[in-house]
Structure 1
Amino acid sequence: MHNAVIVAHGSPGTPQPQDAAMAVLAASVSDVLPNWTIRGATLASPGSLESALHGVDSPLIYPFFMSQGYFTSDILPRRLSSAGCNYLQLPPFGADPAIPALVAEAAMTGARTANLIPEETSLLLAAHGSEVSPASRIATLALVEQLLAALPFKAVVAGFIEEPPYLGESARDLGRALCLPLFTLTASHVLDDVPDAMLRAGFTGPILPAIGSHLAVPRVIAAGLERYATRIAA
């Protein structure tokens, strides 16, 4: 029997909905890995992580984050150590080798659904960014380069919530375009910050669902957990 806890940041102001979303995600991953014990938690909800760890022996910790930044490198390990947990922390969701293909598929499907011709359309990646760590920016810009090489879009650009180039600046004067939010949870950044920035920029193209809500995400997480379980067994 293998154990895993999937951990997201969550929403400090309204933690319960994101805790519930992580429980749903954990159940979906469990459907793919029926012989595993899978739990979900957020850092923002008091006691959520500790509750998920209770009674779970030596879990794999799967950070449901888009990059290896401050929370995954500092806050999460400290919280796990404080809980007295014997664990192995995996790379974050956004670092999974399946993510570029997943983002590409979401973007192309979004363009087709909106009746947009990729060769005449720009793809705008909306990401978090950070004033503390460059990890989000570095990972996002690397993804931009991968998508430019793999997809027929006229342009692929990035904009950030918390650092330049800010999302509103990147969205301005793009012409025909669609926006794909690179966020794991559909929380305030996706529900408020991204649409607000688009509105201020005069962006009228479609805003796709956050990549973390893609139907393939439970399978991506399950495959990542299995890869690391196999390495441990070897």
Structure 2
Amino acid sequence: MTRSALIIAHGSPSDPDPQEAALRDLAARVGALLPGWRIGGATLAKEGAFDAAVAELGTPWIYPYFMARGYFTKKVLAERAAPLGLRVLEPFGTEPALVQSAAHALRRELAGRGWQADATTLLVAAHGSAVSRTSAESARDFAAALKSKIGFAEARAGYVEEPPFLHESARGLTQAICLPQFALNAGHMLEDVPGALQQAGFSGPVLPAFIDWQETPELIAQSLETQSNAS
């Protein structure tokens, strides 16, 4: 029996096609790691994309490519999936292996620069929200877990849409690494994060959005395989 999953992200309503293509590419990379699976990718921002992908895949599991449990994962996706009898999985940002994957990337960055963790600050750049605590709490927990695992001198978070704003959290940092907690290369990652860091005079390295991490397809594939074996 062929198993299927649909990787779904929010996307960019003002310009949906680039993110739609990025999700399809991510789905192809995940599918290459899962023989016997059919993997699709779509965004909510692209009109008709969700329904078309579901129709093509049959009854796929819905894998939310989001960084936290929130409005879109708990309400929007749930309401879209329920009438179709589709199972919505936990979002990418809650994957237990994500902290370990980020730790590997940060250790590579530290080693490449000859920096010691105990003399370096980790800055997690995140979305935040004016109405929900979930995004901010997720970023703080992520930063704290990485500080504990690697031994950074300090770990702090800064947000695009709530205080402490990213430009405030980034100000005055000298030896620091910025890890953006963003799934896609959309507006916040391409405009707001660089703008805030420039405003703060931040000159440290900035890691890419998770869609560009080489470990991301494997994380998703392993999660789908594990949950399939357990069901």
TM-score after normalising by structure 1 = 0.94
Contact 2:81 / 2:87 at 8 angstroms: preserved in 1?
Answer: no
Helix, strand or coil: the match of 1:88?
coil
Matched, 1:45 2:52: no
Contact 1:121 / 1:153 at 8 angstroms: preserved in 2?
Answer: yes
Helix, strand or coil: the match of 1:54?
helix
Q: How does 1:73-92 map to 2 (within 5 A)?
A: 73-81=74-82, 84-92=83-91
> Which residues of structure 2 form unaligned runs of 5+?
none
Between 100-109 and 3-12, the greater mean CA deviation after superposition: 100-109
TM-score after normalising by structure 2 = 0.95
The aligned counterpart of 1:27 is 28
The aligned counterpart of 1:189 is 188
The CA distance in 2 between the partners of 1:40 and 1:130, in whole Å, is 26
Aligned-pair distance for 1:5? 0.2
Between 46-55 and 114-123, the greater mean CA deviation after superposition: 114-123
Residues 12-57 of structure 1, C-alpha deviation per residue, up to 9 Å, x if partnerless? 1111000000000000011000210100010111111111111323
Backbone CA RMSD of aligned residues: 1.3
Residues 44-94 of structure 1, C-alpha deviation per residue, up to 9 Å, x if partnerless? 11111111111323211100001001110111122334xx42211100001
The CA distance in 1 between the partners of 2:7 and 2:230, in whole Å, is 19
Aligned-pair distance for 1:196? 0.1
Aligned-pair distance for 1:132? 2.3
Quote the sequence identity (%). Answer: 43
The aligned counterpart of 2:225 is 226
The CA distance in 2 between the partners of 1:12 and 1:42, in whole Å, is 9
The aligned counterpart of 2:125 is 126
Runs of 4+ residues deviating >6 angstroms? none
> Which residues of structure 1 form unaligned runs of 5+?
none
Aligned-pair distance for 1:117? 3.0
Matched, 1:95 2:90: no
Aligned-pair distance for 1:129? 1.0
Q: How does 1:1-234 map to 2 (within 5 A)?
A: 1-81=2-82, 84-232=83-231
The CA distance in 1 between the partners of 2:14 and 2:52, in whole Å, is 20
The CA distance in 2 between the partners of 1:229 and 1:173, in whole Å, is 47
How many residues in Structure 1 have an aligned counterpart in Structure 2?
230
Contact 2:81 / 2:88 at 8 angstroms: preserved in 1?
Answer: no
